[in-house]
Structure 1
Amino acid sequence: MSELAMILVLVGALFGMLAMGMWVGFALSLTGALGMFMFTSAPLGPILATTFWGHSHSWALAALPLFILMGEILLRSRLSEDMFSGLTPWLGKVPGKLLHVNILGCAIFAAVSGSSAATAATIGKMSVPELQKRNYPDSLILGTLAGSATLGLLIPPSIILIVYGVSTEQSIARLFIAGILPGILLVSMFAAFVAITALMKPEIFPKEELNFSFREKLSASKRLIPVIALIAGVIGSIYAGIASPTDAAAVGVVLSLVLAWSSGSLSWKMFRESVMNATITSCMIAFILAGAAFLTVSMGFTGIPRNLASWIDTFNLGPWALLAALTVFFIVLGCFLDGISVVVLTTAIIMPMIESVGIDPLWFGIYLVIVVEMSQITPPVGFNLFVIQGLTGQNIFKIAMAALPFFLLLLLAVVLITIFPQIVTALPGLMKG
Structure 2
Amino acid sequence: MQRSRWIGAGFLASALVLTSCTSGSAGVDAKQNSKAPLELWTRTTPGGPGEQGTLRLAKAFEKATGFKVKVTAIFDDFETKLQQRAAQKHLPDIVMNDVTQLGAMHSQGLLREIDLGRIKNSKELIGQGLDSGKSVDGKQYALPYSAQASALLIRKDWRQKLKLAAPRSWDDFAAMAKAFTTRDPDGNGRPDTSGLAAPLSTKRGYASWYFSNFLWAAGGDFITEAGKGTYRPAMTGKASVEAMQWFRDLGCKDKAVQPGSVTMDTPPTNETFEAGKAGMYVVGPYMLPRFDESLGKDKYEVVPMPKGPKDATVLAEGGSVYLMAGSENRVGQDAFADFAVSDQGQKIGMAGDTGFVVQLPVNKTVNISQVRPDPRWKTYSEVYRDSGRYAPSIPNWTPVRQATADTVNALMADCGLDIKAKLGELDKQLAGILKEQGIAAS
Q: Normalized against structure 1, the TM-score is what?
A: 0.26
